[in-house]
């Protein structure tokens, strides 16, 4: 069954740089926030073509569309299931459009109190406040 939500994958870049790998910077408590709801596949056309954006303190950081996914959802599920047994309730997070803080020159890292808004058409807006 397909259902959709928003996931804000917050990375602790300082830890990723220090330890030279991603796991420690992406596995901390409070760094994989999801919501604000789950939308059943019947309410979203397939293939998925939804506007997706993020803002930090009202400044647009990312603005794209899910039709630009490198791999279609069917291919993602097929490839993942070749090495991982998927069961009901599993979550697959697909990635992000350009515009993450490391891509700016100089980088625009998140700070305590920053408000992050992730928006996906037909799903909603997920708002988070950064707390160090």
CATH of the domain at 109: 3.90.850.10
For residue 6, give the H/E element and its range: strand 3-9
> Into how many domains does the chain fold?
1
What is the pTM assigned to this prediction?
0.85
Query: What is the tens place of the pLDDT at every residue in 30-62?
Result: 888 999 999 999 999 887 899 999 999 999 999
CB count within 10 Å of CB 120 equals 22
81 Rama class: left (phi>0) / alpha (psi -120 to 50) / beta: alpha
Question: What pLDDT, on a 0 to 100 scale, did the predictor assign at position 123?
Answer: 96
Query: Which domain does 122 fall in, by range?
Result: 3-129
C-alpha count within 13 angstroms, C-beta hemisphere, residue 87: 1
Tokens, residue 41: 């596949």
Dist. CA 26–CA 78, nearest whole Å: 24
Structural tokens at position 111: 């700070």
């Amino acid at each position: 069954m397909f259902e959709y939500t928003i996931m804000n994958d917050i990375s602790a870049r300082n830890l990723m740089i220090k330890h030279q790998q991603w796991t420690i910077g992406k596995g901390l408590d409070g760094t994989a926030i999801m919501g604000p709801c789950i939308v059943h596949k019947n309410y979203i056309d397939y293939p998925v073509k939804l506007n997706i954006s993020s803002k930090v303190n009202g400044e647009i950081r990312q603005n794209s569309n899910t039709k630009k996914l490198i791999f279609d959802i069917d291919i993602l599920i097929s490839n993942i299931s070749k090495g991982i047994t998927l069961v009901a309730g599993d979550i697959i997070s697909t990635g992000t459009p350009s515009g993450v803080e490391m891509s700016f020159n100089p980088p625009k890292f998140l700070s305590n109190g920053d408000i992050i808004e992730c928006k996906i058409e037909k799903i909603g807006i997920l708002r988070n406040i950064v707390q160090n």
